[in-house]
Amino acid sequence: MTKLTKEQHQELIQTANRVRANAYAPYSKYSVGAALLTTSGKIFTGVNVENASYPLTMCAERSAVFSAVTSGEREFIAIAVATNNGGTPCGSCRQVLSEFGLDIQVLIVDGNENVVQTTTVRELLPGAFSGGDLPK
């Protein structure tokens, strides 16, 4: 597992909190921002985008992952997830992150940029379903 530098750690936290202002959350009023660091050193961001048809809502974490993948990135070091109260990623986001590595560091941050929890995808999703579970 790649260790975050102090500068990367702070940049992820600040970026996740900054982009959170761009979330589209007219129904829940629960804005989420995510900042995903790749092994190439790039940071991809995402916000939650709600929809009146609730199941069509997209989470910030998945938005950041999909943006990174769209740009050709496949290897991630860490993701910061910022909410007002330091909420953790949902199950769908945990599963999507696990596709790219169980050792991705996850920084859970509140609206004041306090780190509420530092963990990994492995710790958030024990017994993750993976490609190895599919029939050959």
Count of domains for the chain:
1
Q: What are 110's two structure tokens?
A: 């509140």
**Residue 105: its pLDDT value, please?**
98
Is residue 1 one of the residues assigned to a domain? no
Q: What is the mean pLDDT of residues 85-97?
A: 97
Residue 3's pLDDT band (boundaries 50, 70, 90)?
Answer: confident
**Residue 108: its pLDDT value, please?**
98
Determine the 3-state secondary structure of 11 from DSSP: helix
Residue 136's pLDDT band (boundaries 50, 70, 90)?
Answer: confident
Q: Tens digit of pLDDT for each residue in 4-33?
A: 999 999 999 999 999 999 999 999 999 999
Contact 88, 117 (CB under 8 A): yes
> How far is it, in rounded angstroms, from Cα 110 to Cα 62?
19
Determine the 3-state secondary structure of 71 from DSSP: coil
76-82 and 105-109 strand pairing: parallel
Active-site hit among 7, 11, 50, 61: 61
Is residue 63 one of the residues assigned to a domain? yes
User: Domain holding 101: CATH number?
Assistant: 3.40.140.10
Q: Tens digit of pLDDT for each residue in 38-89?
A: 999 999 999 999 999 999 999 999 999 999 999 999 999 999 999 999 999 9
**Domain containing residue 96:** 6-133
Residue 61 known to be catalytic: yes
Task: Indicate the helix (H) or strand (E) that contains 91.
Answer: helix 91-98
